Amino acid sequence: MKKQYPILSFIILLCFLASSFLYHGIQAADQASEGTLSKNVDIAQAGQQKQIREIFPQAHSIHINRKDRIHYIIYDKQSMFLGIAFYTKDIAPDIYGYGGHVNLLVGITAQGTLTSIKLINHLETPAYVEGKLLPFLQQFSGRSIQDKIVLDQNVNAITHATVSSTAVVNALNQSIAKMSTLRVVQEKLIPPRSSFPAKDIILTLLLFMLAIISVLTSQPILRWFTLLSSLLYLGILKGSMISASNIAVLFSGRWPLFQTNPHWYLLTFFSILCAPYFGMVFCGYLCPFAGTQEILHALTKKIRKQRTDTISPAIENKARFIKYAVLMIAVSAGILTGHPNIAIIEPFITLFTFNGSHAAWILLGLMLLLSMIYYRFWCRFFCPVGAFLGLIAQKSLWGITLKKYPCSYCLKCEQICPTRAINFQNKDHLRVDTPECVLCLECVNNCPDRTLGVRRYGKK
């Protein structure tokens, strides 16, 4: 297997790069053809421009897009995108007030907040709304488009004009929801800045540090403590796990905004950067999916006859390739379609998010059952993330090796290794299949001569 890793890495890398080039090529062609659809995008009429300038005072050029829902795209003097504007009558034509439409001109800034709202016309009973409609509308200015407007909860209704107030709120909520699905909104609007998750960053860094200390000190208790802490924190509390979609995002080149996703960056890059140094440290110590499988396997130890499983080495050697195929297919599909989430195929995500289709729940049940019988069944044969990290870890600097010579050559390590990652070529030559070794330390702690340990390879 060891000789095949470089070839596998090359094929998989080639596949991801080809998918990425293809995707970006299709996008470029799409944009070019959009550019030729000038009949759909042109300069807004003078009357509309005047109204829009009242809500976007810095507007310089205003283009109308008639192709999707009619909306206006606004740029400043330096051609910087300022936001979009639309009339609620165009976007939510089914919503009526007491006397008919309440037509509003609404702007959404590049930061994803509402501008001031301009009342264009209405047919409400003047006695009810006279002098009250404009102050009512002022409440919406500056709100994030991600916050749903709820009458009498986060905005006050106009007294004695509930129907009119409801019409305005419904027109706004419905229009914003529809406009939020537009490509221009999804791609150009800067998501509202969320507070920096310093606590999450610190705790995740501590988990990584703990994992490295556990590897270097070869303490099984510390390994279990790290694995369980990670299961509790990353899995149960945060629901932040690494999936094949992280890899698809990396290769698609459409990385999320750092300011709003620092935790994503930390998890993804630390797991990847640790692999060339400490091998499968993420899989062995931090992955919540692995924690779940190991707990189940340990809990059912008493009712199983054998300590590990009964898959024959010949089958296991071939079955290991499945995960590389899964990696290639899932990630390429995520890149090619431009929807990295398609690559989320890990059944354990259903467990931690409590969200999934019937098929996902069935697959999860099956994997949980199989992991009771076979040690880390998902990891060993199907996990695309494990496959990816394994390819990076194939020549890791640290790993299981002979600390001293000679060993008594009892081959206990070979028998005890739950992933069949270790074997002796001859008395002096120990071979560890790094991508398969999850650094569980079973071999180290069961070696009667204490000759095995985690060390820097090549160090005498």
Of 320 and 376, which has the nearer Cβ to ligand SF4?
376
3-state secondary structure of 151: strand
Q: Is 421 in the site for ligand SF4 (CB under 6 A)?
A: yes
Q: What residues form DSSP beta bridges with 90?
A: none
Shortest approach of ligand SF4 to residue 251 CB, angstroms? Answer: 17
Region near ligand SF4 per CB under 6 A, out of 93-101, 105-113, 196-204, 419-427:
419-427
Among 133, 327, 422, 447, binds ligand SF4 (CB under 6 A): 422
In sign, the C-alpha dihedral spanning 443, 444, 450, 456 is: positive
Among 92, 161, 364, 438, binds ligand SF4 (CB under 6 A): 438
Residue 356 token pair: 């999934």
Q: Which helix (H) or strand (E) holds 157?
A: none
Q: What residues form DSSP beta bridges with 113?
A: 144
Shortest approach of ligand SF4 to residue 380 CB, angstroms? Answer: 8
Asked if residue 144 lies in contact with residue 192, where contact means CB atoms within 8 angstroms, the answer is yes
Region near ligand SF4 per CB under 6 A, out of 99-107, 111-119, 286-294, 362-370:
286-294
Asked if residue 230 lies in contact with residue 206, where contact means CB atoms within 8 angstroms, the answer is no
Of 290 and 402, which has the nearer Cβ to ligand SF4?
290
Of 165 and 419, which has the nearer Cβ to ligand SF4?
419
Of 179 and 290, which has the nearer Cβ to ligand SF4?
290
Asked if residue 145 lies in contact with residue 120, where contact means CB atoms within 8 angstroms, the answer is no
Region near ligand SF4 per CB under 6 A, out of 35-43, 175-183, 357-365, 381-389:
381-389
Number of residues that bind ligand SF4 (CB under 6 A): 23
Shortest approach of ligand SF4 to residue 265 CB, angstroms? Answer: 18
Shortest approach of ligand SF4 to residue 284 CB, angstroms? Answer: 7
Q: Is 391 in the site for ligand SF4 (CB under 6 A)?
A: no
Among 73, 249, 443, 447, binds ligand SF4 (CB under 6 A): 443
Of 171 and 287, which has the nearer Cβ to ligand SF4?
287
Between CA 424 and CA 403 the distance in angstroms is: 15
Site for ligand SF4 in 337-376 (CB under 6 A): 376
Shortest approach of ligand SF4 to residue 283 CB, angstroms? Answer: 3
Shortest approach of ligand SF4 to residue 428 CB, angstroms? Answer: 17
Q: Is 398 in the site for ligand SF4 (CB under 6 A)?
A: no
Q: Is 207 in the site for ligand SF4 (CB under 6 A)?
A: no
Among 73, 249, 379, 392, binds ligand SF4 (CB under 6 A): 379
Residue nearest to ligand SF4 (CB): 386
Exposed/middle/buried for residue 336 (C-beta within 10 Å: 0-12, 13-18, 19+): middle
3-state secondary structure of 435: helix
Name the residue among 346, 345, 245, 356 with its Cα closest to residue 290.
346
Site for ligand SF4 in 318-337 (CB under 6 A): none
Q: What residues form DSSP beta bridges with 114?
A: 108
Of 26 and 298, which has the nearer Cβ to ligand SF4?
298
Shortest approach of ligand SF4 to residue 385 CB, angstroms? Answer: 4
- The residue behind tokens 């709120």 is 169
Among 235, 340, 386, 435, binds ligand SF4 (CB under 6 A): 386
Shortest approach of ligand SF4 to residue 340 CB, angstroms? Answer: 17
Residue 198's contacts (CB-CB under 8 Å, 6 or more residues apart) are none
Of 74 and 280, which has the nearer Cβ to ligand SF4?
280
Region near ligand SF4 per CB under 6 A, out of 92-100, 196-204, 331-339, 418-426:
418-426
Hey, what long-range contacts does 147-154 have (CB within 8 A, 24 or more apart)? 148/173, 149/173
Of 97 and 390, which has the nearer Cβ to ligand SF4?
390
Rg (alpha carbons) of the chain, rounded to whole number: 29
Name the residue among 77, 138, 137, 75 with its Cα closest to residue 109.
75
The end-to-end CA distance of the chain, in Å, is 26
Residue 437 token pair: 């070794």
Among 179, 248, 417, 430, binds ligand SF4 (CB under 6 A): 417
Between CA 216 and CA 3 the distance in angstroms is: 27
Q: Is 283 in the site for ligand SF4 (CB under 6 A)?
A: yes
Between CA 81 and CA 61 the distance in angstroms is: 10
Residue 246's contacts (CB-CB under 8 Å, 6 or more residues apart) are 264, 267, 268, 340, 385
Length of the chain: 460
Q: Which helix (H) or strand (E) holds 246?
A: helix 244-252
Shortest approach of ligand SF4 to residue 206 CB, angstroms? Answer: 19
Of 95 and 247, which has the nearer Cβ to ligand SF4?
247
Q: Which residues bind ligand SF4 (CB under 6 A)?
A: 283, 287, 289-290, 376, 378-379, 383, 385-386, 400, 417, 419, 421-422, 432, 437-443
